[in-house]
Structure 1
Amino acid sequence: MRGDPGGYRSRTEPTGVEVAVKDLLVAVLSLCALAVVALGGWWVLTESELFADSAAEADPAETAGAFAAAWERGDAESLAELAREDDDTVRATYEQFAEGLMADSDALEVRPGPTEQVQDGRARTPVAVTVDGPFGEVSWDVELETVRERGAWGVVWSTATVHPSLRPGMVFDVVREEVDRAPILAVGGQELAGEREQVTVGFEPGTVADRDELVATFEEVLPDTGEIVERLYARGGLVDDWFYPVISLPAEQADEVRAALRGVRGVVLRSGTGRALYDAGFAHHVVGVVGPVTAEQLERLGPSYASGDEVGQFGLEAVYESDLVDAVRIRAVLRERAEGAVHEVLGEALAGGLDAVRTTLDVPVQQAVENALAGVEDEAAIVVVDAADGAIRAAASRPLTAYNRAFEGRYAPGSAFRLVTGEALLAAGNVPGSEVVCDERTTVGGRTVTNAEGPALGTTSLQQAFAAGCDTTLATLAADALGPEGLAAAAERFGVGTQPQLPVPSFGGSFPTPADTTELVEAAVGLGRVEVSPLQLASMAAAARSGVWHPPSLMVDDEPDEARQLAAGTLDDLRTLLRAAVTDGDAVAAAGAAGDGATGELVEGVAGTARTSGGERHAWFAGSWGQYGFAVLVEDGGSGAEVAAPIAGRLVDEFELQLAADG
């Protein structure tokens, strides 16, 4: 070792090539390490930071829910952020939606349904939209389509996302418009009064050649109008070249009278659109008419009316005046553009009035009543009531120019009150076969009673005496078997004295409990202090058909008042008595020309004659046919058997014709 000149060596020294290789390897390894670090850092950033903000929206149902919630609260900014569409377009659309339809921020409800995955990264969610406003509640359905892009979910937006009919450029809007005078409807929906093509018949005084001829012609061609012409002349001050309207007719009816009126100088017919009844005089007193507003009406109706306006003069036209004219129709619409044409009506409602006044009147039944009274020149009335519920199906009074005696008239019912007295006697234990006495005249409790129609049957059955109209029998039995309380209880079961809850004036009858036997006898035969209207007697006749008295009603939406049951076990026997009066008694003329029971329905009822202290003799018929109870009155007409019963017979014939035609 001493012989080595360089001393001791621990390892072999690298050469220059080896150093170069080593440096290159270190550099490569350093670059790889840096790449790995960079890749890991990018992965961490992407997964932990880039996706962190969309984690809450990674579920398409949550995205649809967030969109619906933002719409409901009116958050246009959030809607724009969630939608895959230009932010300004989305924001502006929802802002216009809110401005156009929603006066109240709580008026909108947006409810998403279950989300359905259509394919990976795409889903659909049904959404129900409801807006509640002055136009009512409007609803529609849309569909939200959600897609995932770069890991985040968003809504594929179009105008159809807001409403299926919305197109670019369209706007939402609320439109308010005043409506014409609302119609008055029958139960079947027909317009009893409404706007239609019509002809107004009147005259010009300056061209009238003969006033008497003018009045006579009007009265002959259009009954009850002659009196109107006379009243116009009587008030004086007529201007020669002015047109004075007398009556308005549907255009088709005017054609029937045009020829008859054309030859009379001064008569003028003017065509146009206006308020008219279903037919001339049809349900005239109940429905009413419109006419120029008077000074008194102007003061009562207030500043919304002006001289020259037409207003309801009586009947339902007057009662519902403000409801008929004050309505404003409010519509939610889609327009082509602001102030542009309406593309679609989304919903509508009325404010401040009614879309229609709906009555229980039935057109075929009313037509039957009008036809039955055709040619009747006396003061008369007919009312028809549905036995099932008390609904008034028809009513008419004559003359047309007088008051509504069908509802408001107060008359002694006379022997038509047998409906009540007969039921009371049956409730007291009598039967149709009970033996009774029918004398022409009798005195009970100091009161002399005479049979109105004059029968004197002697000893007979209750059925025969009832059918013949033996007031003497009823008076005697009332004093012997009923007493004041018994008869008063029966009157109460038939609703006598109950005020009808109708929108128009009416009278429900009067039956003070008799104070003594004399008053009891008078009450039993429908005289003394007993009074009814045709309306009340019709409702009583309906009760005698069904066994239940229903308070009469006129409006479809009226809540029914409490009904009253007739005495238990009396209905069948009462109907037997009423039927006998038509087959063998004083009401045979009510069977009708077609023959009783020709259509399977039998007439039941009684005629009645009421002699009053004033010397009048009111003629009555009270009875039923099918589902209807009805009363016929001819004021001071004489015998019920000879005057009212034949009109009832015509009514039954008309029932069969009109109802068969109506199907």
Structure 2
Amino acid sequence: MPRLPVRTPRRAVATLLGAALALGLSACEGDADPPDGAEAAEAARELAAALSAGDLDGVDFRATDGPDASAALDLVTEGMGETEPSVEVTEVVDGDDSARVELTWSWPVADKMWSYPVETRLTLVDDEWQAGWSPSLVHPSLKEHEVLALSTEGAERGDVLGADGRALVTARPVVRFGIDRSQVPERRAGAAAGQLARLVGIDVAPYVDRVEAAGDRAFVEAIVFRADELPARVEEGYELIPGVLALADELPLAPTPEFAAPLLGSVGEVTAEMIEEQPERYQLGDRAGLSGLQARYDEQLQGRPGAVVLARDEQQDERELFRVPARPGRPLRLTLHLDLQREAERLLAQVRPASALVALRPSTGDLLVVANGPGTEGYNMASFGQFAPGSTFKIVSSLALLRSGLTPDSPLECPDTTTVEGKQFENYDDYPSSAVGRIALRTAVAHSCNTAFVAQTGRLGADDLAGAAASLGLGVDHDLGFPAYFGSVPPPASDVELAADLIGQGKVLASPMAMAAVIGSVQRGELVVPRLLEQVEVSAPDGVAPLTGDEANALRAMLRGVVTTGSGAGLADLPGSPAIAKTGTAEFERGGRLRTHAWMVAAQGDLAVAVFVEEGASGSGTAGPILESFLRAAGAIGVGG
């Protein structure tokens, strides 16, 4: 939490007052008449201004001089850090040769104002008003040899909660390992740092440099381990290294280091850039959200630190003068399902290429899973990836063809190859020969006949695909409160481009989340807008043609055919409600070689799922087994089908 930095003397900021205070608190020189009350009040105001500025050099005191009083004031107040007070005169009661003065001190502490009165007396000596110095001039309860000390109290960070209020990110025990410079001789510090670095597996040279450059009382942290993941070699070996400390602590962490990591983000020490951009909020050593949702909603999660002002004597005995309680952060409530997210990540853990799995509830749009495999290397491919959707896009193309006048039983030609404006298109390598020739649209969908779809370019206008996509939640942006890509269906520049778009190639792009929304919209019978954060309201976009009941029924029937007779046969024996599905591959080039993305989307009951593998053999062969296993696990957990 933000901490108040070490104070520098405030005398340096008093230049504007210096000239005015140089005259001290004197009455008008040469005035033979006794000073009046107005002069006492003016002297009191000058004293208040000098105390506010932290510069008493120009003030006359009865038993000391101004510079000594300034040094004493600095000593009393330096523990307040850079917190600047204001001091005002609230009452002056003038006597014959003295005046009782009440001053009000006000300090901004945390998000409150600490205000209190101080009473002092000005004495007229040789026509000059003189003040009396003591620590009680700063606070009425301060005694000799007592000073003020301000410290912050960290606020408890808000949890990130998932479905049913289960904690996704909460304070979990950790152990911090580092070198305590006060416990190791300077000549041995570097060697000890090197031993610790090798033991815990971090780069040796940079850590040695940090330890050697640190002060002789510093604790230089090397690494933080989760308490339940502490390696045995570290636990058994750290005590043999001089100066090493293992400190128990708690940090806001997810159940595992991998759990929704690209989405949730991390919490750690603030960077130099963060301090530079928001110096009033962050100080060196503070912890804050560094990425993902932890960074975007840091202010909500972080809460407000508290503060306490103490009177401290030379023996370090303390008593409390003022306190502002810390205000804990507010939780961030998500729709993620803890068990389903972990199951998805378990299934993706063994997939070597980049991969993602997204699952949502068609009835509400609630995102239950936003999972990325280790091959994504920390990139949130699940909700923000931008890839050609391949034949899964034929769900959209089928809706556009239905709107053009076709029905699921309309006959289409499905040759092995077809040509559009000189560009040849063909079916995938193991396309079944039994589904070649004159077939119904439903058969073309079930077996994913490219040539049948490509041949329909003449039936569609430039905006028909985009309109159908929008009705299913693809290609229309929304602010969901986190990075989300809904896809793109730009107007085709030619019939060749339209032909490629019809089979999910061309310039059509989608994320796994967007494709989960597409099949979820079919399952629900109306457009589904994904939803992750309970505090962010989402709604269907304006100006989008709604999916009709007849269209939804036709699409569901054709996608059910994918399972019963086509490439999604692996889902045919799922327990529970009948599943609908669509598989797909999309070609792309990398390193001079033609490769394929592997896709599969499916819906069962109140669960819609998209699986994407950046490089795979086929949708049914690569993505299909992952999706099938996930649906079976979801059924066992009691979600979806």
TM class, shorter-length: 0.5 to 0.7
Match of 1:467 among 446, 467, 470: 446
Partner Cα separation in structure 2 for residue 573 and residue 543 of structure 1:
13
The structure in which a higher percent of residues are helix is 1
Q: Does 1:571 align with 2:547?
A: no
* Compared CA separation, residues 463 and 261, structure 1 to 2 (3 A): farther
Residue type at the aligned position of 1:185: L
Q: Does 1:309 align with 2:260?
A: no
Partner in structure 1 of residue 479 of structure 2: 501
Partner in structure 1 of residue 331 of structure 2: 356
Q: Secondary structure at the match of 2:567?
A: coil
1:89-168 to 2 correspondence within 5 Å?
none
- 1:528-554 CA-to-partner distances (Å, cap 9, x unmatched) read 111111111111121121121222222
Q: Does 1:294 align with 2:271?
A: yes
Q: Percent identity?
A: 29
* Superposed displacement of residue 648, structure 1: 0.8
Partner in structure 1 of residue 351 of structure 2: 376
Partner in structure 1 of residue 620 of structure 2: 641
Q: Contact (CA 8 Å) 1:436, 1:460: kept in 2 or not?
A: yes
Partner Cα separation in structure 2 for residue 362 and residue 471 of structure 1:
37
Partner in structure 2 of residue 7 of structure 1: none
Q: Secondary structure at the match of 2:531?
A: coil
Q: Does 1:551 align with 2:529?
A: yes
Partner Cα separation in structure 1 for residue 476 and residue 408 of structure 2:
29
* Superposed displacement of residue 237, structure 1: 6.5
- 1:372-391 CA-to-partner distances (Å, cap 9, x unmatched) read 22322221111112211222
Q: Does 1:617 align with 2:596?
A: yes
Residue type at the aligned position of 1:412: A
Residue type at the aligned position of 2:296: V
Q: For the pair shown, which has the larger CA radius of gyration, 1 or 2? A: 1
Partner Cα separation in structure 1 for residue 507 and residue 578 of structure 2:
33
* Superposed displacement of residue 508, structure 1: 1.4
* Superposed displacement of residue 200, structure 1: 6.6
1:141-540 to 2 correspondence within 5 Å?
179-198=155-174, 206-207=194-195, 244-245=222-223, 248-249=225-226, 251=227, 254=229, 258=231, 271-327=248-304, 355-399=330-374, 401-455=377-431, 456=433, 457-458=435-436, 459-477=438-456, 479-540=457-518
Residue type at the aligned position of 1:611: E
Residue type at the aligned position of 2:362: A
* Compared CA separation, residues 381 and 236, structure 1 to 2 (3 A): farther
* Superposed displacement of residue 428, structure 1: 2.8
* Compared CA separation, residues 443 and 288, structure 1 to 2 (3 A): same
* Compared CA separation, residues 586 and 187, structure 1 to 2 (3 A): same
RMSD, aligned CA: 3.9
Match of 1:628 among 607, 620, 626: 607
* Compared CA separation, residues 235 and 606, structure 1 to 2 (3 A): farther
Partner in structure 2 of residue 605 of structure 1: 581
Q: Does 1:653 align with 2:632?
A: yes
* Superposed displacement of residue 509, structure 1: 0.7
Partner Cα separation in structure 1 for residue 537 and residue 468 of structure 2:
25
* Superposed displacement of residue 260, structure 1: 9.2
Partner Cα separation in structure 2 for residue 645 and residue 261 of structure 1:
42
Partner in structure 1 of residue 119 of structure 2: none
* Superposed displacement of residue 448, structure 1: 1.8
- 1:65-99 CA-to-partner distances (Å, cap 9, x unmatched) read xxxxxxxxxxxxxxxxxxxxxxxxxxxxxxxxxxx
Q: Contact (CA 8 Å) 1:587, 1:607: kept in 2 or not?
A: yes
Q: Secondary structure at the match of 1:570?
A: helix
Q: Contact (CA 8 Å) 2:356, 2:371: kept in 1 or not?
A: yes
Partner Cα separation in structure 1 for residue 178 and residue 516 of structure 2:
37
* Compared CA separation, residues 328 and 402, structure 1 to 2 (3 A): closer
Q: Secondary structure at the match of 2:535?
A: coil
How many pairs does the alignment contain? 447
* Superposed displacement of residue 555, structure 1: 1.0
* Compared CA separation, residues 177 and 518, structure 1 to 2 (3 A): same
* Superposed displacement of residue 316, structure 1: 0.8
Residue type at the aligned position of 1:206: G
Match of 1:587 among 560, 565, 568: 568
Partner in structure 1 of residue 25 of structure 2: none
